[in-house]
Structure 1
């Protein structure tokens, strides 16, 4: 039996209604999700926000506390009546691994129930190959698991993977020998990793999980609907509608890289060709400079000078066009921009996108709020790590924002 599958299995069924066990599972997920969303909540507030009776909430909270998923806070005394006791998620109640597989690097992170990273590891490469990635991930996961007690090892909810859609299609751009990456067409890394590590594995597009990380741990609660752009080796993104990530029919919604645009010379181009770190890499190579430092999250970009300035101006122009194109389809409240670069670079890029939008004809389009993301290069790994938590313990975000009656 896989570690982690034995504990709290009743919570892992997200559907509600067909029988008492499923209703209980749904209600427990609802309580956990509300507490996660608000940090600390007393029983009375959970009952008010969930629509459940006070008695039902009491039973659920006692059960979740007994399972080690909730912790009691200090009593809060009011003017009358019994003091209320706020409940919070137990950081050590659940753990989860997240694996981001990128075109130039891979990250493995272990988080607790609050989403706080506990350990992380990274490898860089010229292009991703499954065997090397499988060895890296399984070794890191098994080594981290060995540091847990037998009891805590049962609290590992699983492994989430964020992986670019149709990775083999980027062979030429990343400089891999022709045909090398075709192996990805038939390699199921989720199944292979589950077989090696004996934890359940969940997989989604890497930019979509980055969007989910921003929704869950970043600016998400501020906006009901937003379009999200993540500038990595190639640009990607995600869509949030009614406080919930919309992944689409194939799980690839919001993959903005292939979005068609018109270049400065009037020819057709794609967003990924104009707004990715790949184009900055090419500019550095033309100048005889080694671009591999861009693959490291802690890299310093201060000495890039005019090359950086030109790249930022170029990227901002095309991101502005992409933002307006997206808002012509859906009336987004905000456009959030993040990426694998230092915080100060993100700030400058967002400022330039806003300035570039001001030069575009916006007749018939309501301008969204242009915002910085908050998580940065770790967004895809963190988002991947939330997949097991969402699948086994929590509910869709949209449930938490329904009108209170």
Structure 2
């Protein structure tokens, strides 16, 4: 660690040219940046690669691959591993991403909680700060953002603070919508309607800000850092409101307006004969909050990180049954549009609740009319409660260093 810090004092963070992830420039600098991004993306995907493997997988010549690796090592973005000896020839040296090579801040701005994390270059959350509330007051949250960014930067040594690549923000589109479900005063949510969140947060923190839908960011985290075997899946994140994302052929599909996978708005059968409702009214945690409060409990306690939900009893059983039915209907509808191999379900709940919900969805799906539709598996997400924060924190990395990013994002600051 000491050697890395000494290097960082000499070498400032050098974001690779081009923010769009394609870098189809014709000049030499654009080509070099594209090749550097390609190499970093390969190492991220495989964990560690020798220069010969990098050349083979990237299509670069061995000489070009070596030149790029030397530059990335000088930049402090990669580290040499222990030599691996084969039967003949010189030992190969695997290269891996340096966890201290770059850092990012990731903010999830939600309807019940907001959290900011400090994440390193290999996707590990180093520190986090969180705030819990009944509804999102604009001034309170912006104050939290300013203080949390300052606190998280201070956890790094001064030399490593220069390695922060930016701040990714995941927030629901139309945070002010569904007032009746959110339980907030109309004027409090209306305060978000005309806010330029990226510009405001950039001014508060002094960081370059990258913005995405919160659940699209969660889906991006599953694709980038998760362990899903499929390259084609529809993704559900069950938060205060349920939302979704789409992965096709290994790429996160953001859509024409960045709102692809708005599965919370999908019509499903409502509980207790309510007719057709949107999925957010059947499979969101705010539904469970109401059930808990109707029984005299504190719904806000569901959002505490140490809450295990084991004492919820019959309310949790009813909610799982209702949510599973709605999710199974939404999965069936989604597979009528595209033949997804899997549906992946994650959320802001304990892992044991996620397992129960996934099992209930499988059971509900088995009882549905699916003639003419391809089979679809139902799997648990692998990131968990922090998926939105991790996905948000990955936005600066993909914007500045890597190739395989498909989230529609905006940079300000």
TM range, smaller chain: over 0.9
Tell me, yes or no, if the aligned pair for 2:13 and 2:102 is still in contact at 8 Å: no
Write out aligned runs for 1:354-373 (5 A). 354-373=362-381
* CA-to-aligned-CA distance 1:336-362 (integer Å, 9 cap, x gap): 001111001000110010011110011
Equivalent of 1:155 in 150, 163, 175:
163
Equivalence for 1:53: 61
Write out aligned runs for 1:286-365 (5 A). 286-365=294-373
Write out aligned runs for 1:47-126 (5 A). 47-126=55-134
* CA-to-aligned-CA distance 1:355-380 (integer Å, 9 cap, x gap): 11110011101121110011111110
What displacement does 1:8 show?
Answer: 3.4
Equivalent of 1:235 in 238, 242, 257:
242
Compute the RMSD of aligned alpha carbons.
1.6
Tell me, yes or no, if the aligned pair for 2:268 and 2:278 is still in contact at 8 Å: yes
Tell me, yes or no, if the aligned pair for 1:16 and 1:25 is still in contact at 8 Å: no
Residue 216, structure 1, aligned to residue 224, structure 2: yes
Query: Against the structure 1 CA distance between its residues 8 and 202, is the aligned structure 2 distance closer, same or farther, given a 3 Å change threshold?
Result: closer
* Inter-partner Cα distance in structure 1 for 2:175 and 2:404: 28
Equivalent of 2:32 in 21, 24, 28:
24
Moved over 6 A (4+): none
Q: TM-score, length-normalised on structure 1?
A: 0.94
Return 5+ residue gaps in structure 2 as ranges: 1-10, 407-413
Tell me, yes or no, if the aligned pair for 1:130 and 1:189 is still in contact at 8 Å: no
Residue 131, structure 1, aligned to residue 139, structure 2: yes
* Inter-partner Cα distance in structure 1 for 2:15 and 2:235: 34
* Inter-partner Cα distance in structure 2 for 1:141 and 1:5: 20
What displacement does 1:180 show?
Answer: 2.2
Tell me, yes or no, if the aligned pair for 1:207 and 1:237 is still in contact at 8 Å: yes
* Inter-partner Cα distance in structure 2 for 1:13 and 1:266: 45
Return 5+ residue gaps in structure 1 as ranges: 399-405
Equivalent of 2:267 in 252, 255, 260:
260
Count of aligned residue pairs for this structure pair? 394
Tell me, yes or no, if the aligned pair for 2:16 and 2:36 is still in contact at 8 Å: no
* Inter-partner Cα distance in structure 1 for 2:358 and 2:393: 27
Q: TM-score, length-normalised on structure 2?
A: 0.92
Tell me, yes or no, if the aligned pair for 1:316 and 1:349 is still in contact at 8 Å: yes
Equivalence for 2:411: none
Residue 202, structure 1, aligned to residue 229, structure 2: no
